[in-house]
Amino acid sequence: MNDTVLTVILFTIVVGITVAVTVRASRTTSGTGDYFAGGRSFSGVQNGLAIGGDYMSAASFLGISGAIALYGYDGFLYSIGFLVAWLVALLLVAEMLRNSGKFTMADQLAYRMKQRPVRTAAATSTVVVSIFYLLAQMVGAGLLVRLLLDIDADNTLGVSAVIAAVGALMVFYVTVGGMKGTTYVQIVKAVLLMTGSALIVVLVLVKFNFNISDMLGTAQSNSGKPLLDPGLQYGKTFTSKLDFLSLGLALVLGTAGLPHILVRFYTVPTARDARKSVLWAIGIIGVFYLFTLVLGFGAAALLNTGPDSGVATSKGNLASPLLAEEVGGGAGSTGGAILLALISAVAFATILAVVAGLVLTSSTSVAHDIYNSVLRKGTATEREEIRMTRFAAAGIGIVAIALAIPARNLNIAFLVALAFAVAASANLPSLVYNLFWRRFNTRGAVWSIYGGLTSALVLVFFSPVVSGKTGVDAEGNTITAALFPLGVDFHWFPLENPGLVSIPLGFFLGWLGTVTSKEQSAEDRYTELEVRALTGAGSEKASGH
């Protein structure tokens, strides 16, 4: 089949570029400074693009536009929350973290606290958050290929083969390229994603003579739903309104607690470059989220989004690729096939870059925090640390793949929002307390990390997402909209996103743990942490190439 050949060629080109970039980067990688932090020698602009590439995941490209196509304004909250969240990173975290840390999120806690408990806690939450995020990307990869190769939803063999291939590639990037390779892959991806989505946005707007109001009106009339008004998805009951609030809170507070984003601040020479990279990232990401508005409402205006449509049955995840096919000339046309293949290849690159960043970050934390600092008490050589990273990468990949299979029926943006809730509950409190509160200590850090992490996970497990939520299929039958099949229902927590409870709890436990214990050394060392964080005195230097 011609379309399939074209698709395979484009996918091969994307994979080929990223492999070439990774191999090239590996030639200048030696030692942990290069491998874990890219030699700290990327410029602000390069890192800004890489942050964009790391952050704009399948959730942004596939999930948000799908959520907007199906639920309109309520889906738009994702775009807004994901962007505003960058101010937390810019104002409170980026520069101070660059100055006070080394390779991982745990470094700046370990700087003034008891190494082993805080490193173990921070590494645990790093791995858990990354796995949540990873499985969303895996779901996206499986869906894309299913669409392109026309595989049935029930054909698990085909989908599994694809997921295994993505897994192999991800281990390759991390093993061979380290942080340098991953950064270049993310830069390439950011450029591809921005160009590809700009093209679709222009083609959609051409259909409406660049009249956005007209597009919005058509979206409402074509879908037959009040897409432009708040509340289509979340406005029905008081509980669902609380869910909207919970989601909003998780989105805005999650970004600055995402480990794979935090480590990007270590790849630049100075705090000033870290700030500059966040400013660039805000610009790129902001423009992209404006694009999602056009992609989402454009899909609602131009595509069938009824209950048995491709958009609805994929929970919105395929809205962007199907929109590309439509503006290229529709299904069956050559233009449509080309654009569909092109956008799918871009989405695939998006997934690969994010997956590489996630796996590198979490396996670095396992090797640097758990293996070297906790188990080997700091005696492991750089070679041993890097070798350990490779084992960890494979292990984390396998867990993510295993979890992705039961989660394949959920919206990707929704899945990522759960990762944000976990990050905001487990990581953000200890980060902010550590940088701004002298009294903060080991018990506070450990309580807030484990408390935030456990409460978020437990609440998700007993939420309607895991069991009890139902939906209606095209024939009007009641079907399960949860992970467990129809009839299994053990949920007692009413909200789908745990943030509203678990984030305040993480902050509260951090405070409680701190005030119930006394740790003079942590308070003394705060002096050094603060001076270093604000001035850069004594911070890790860029390597000399």
Say how far apart CA 322 and CA 314 lie, in whole Å: 11
CB of 352 to other proteins, least distance (A): 28
* Number of continuous H segments (helices) and E segments (strands) in the chain: 24, 2
Nearer Cβ to other proteins, position 230 or 494? 230
x/- string (CB under 8 A) for other proteins, residues 500-519? -------------------x
CB of 63 to other proteins, least distance (A): 17
Identity (one letter) of the amino acid at 301? A
Write the secondary structure of 52-93 as one string of H (helix), E (strand) and C (coil).
Answer: HHHHCCHHHHHHHHHHHHHHCHHHHHHHHHHHHHHHHHHHHH
Radius of gyration of the chain (CA): 22
Give the count of beta carbons closer than 10 Å to the beta carbon of residue 487: 8
DSSP 539: P
What tokens appear for 407 in the block?
């989660």
Identity (one letter) of the amino acid at 438? R
CB of 535 to other proteins, least distance (A): 4
Say how far apart CA 78 and CA 68 lie, in whole Å: 9
Say how far apart CA 405 and CA 403 lie, in whole Å: 6
Q: Which stretch in 107-115, 199-207, 337-345, 499-507 sits in contact with other proteins by CB under 8 A?
A: 107-115
Q: Under a CB-based contact definition with an 8 Å cutoff, are residues 440 and 112 in contact?
A: no
> Phi/psi of residue 191, each to 5°?
-65, -45
The binder of other proteins chosen from 252, 295, 366, 410 (CB under 8 A): 252
Q: Under a CB-based contact definition with an 8 Å cutoff, are residues 86 and 317 in contact?
A: no
* Residue ranges in 342-361 that form contacts with other proteins under rule CB under 8 A: none
CB of 528 to other proteins, least distance (A): 4
Closest CA to 135 of 514, 518, 481, 416: 416
Give the count of residues interacting with other proteins (CB under 8 A).
Answer: 69
DSSP 370: I
Q: Which stretch in 6-14, 86-94, 128-136, 201-209 sits in contact with other proteins by CB under 8 A?
A: 86-94
What tokens appear for 307 in the block?
């209950």
Give the count of beta carbons closer than 10 Å to the beta carbon of residue 490: 10
Q: Which stretch in 243-251, 322-330, 339-347, 362-370 sits in contact with other proteins by CB under 8 A?
A: 243-251
The binder of other proteins chosen from 87, 149, 165, 403 (CB under 8 A): 87
Residue 198 interacting with other proteins (CB under 8 A): no
Residue 414 interacting with other proteins (CB under 8 A): no
The binder of other proteins chosen from 50, 216, 366, 404 (CB under 8 A): 216
Q: Which stretch in 154-162, 226-234, 364-372, 401-409 sits in contact with other proteins by CB under 8 A?
A: 226-234
Nearer Cβ to other proteins, position 101 or 536? 536
The binder of other proteins chosen from 272, 406, 474, 478 (CB under 8 A): 272
x/- string (CB under 8 A) for other proteins, residues 63-82? ----------xx-xx-xxx-
Q: Which helix (H) or strand (E) holds 387?
A: helix 382-404
N residues, the chain: 545
The binder of other proteins chosen from 332, 378, 476, 487 (CB under 8 A): 378
- Can you state the angle between helices 412-426 and 73-88, rounded to 10 degrees? 30
x/- string (CB under 8 A) for other proteins, residues 292-331? ----------------------------------------
Interface residue list for other proteins (CB under 8 A):
73-74, 76-77, 79-81, 83-84, 86-88, 90-92, 110-117, 212-214, 216-217, 220, 228-231, 234-235, 241, 244-245, 248-249, 252, 271-272, 275, 278-279, 282-283, 286, 289-290, 377-378, 446, 519, 521-522, 524-525, 527-528, 530-532, 534-538
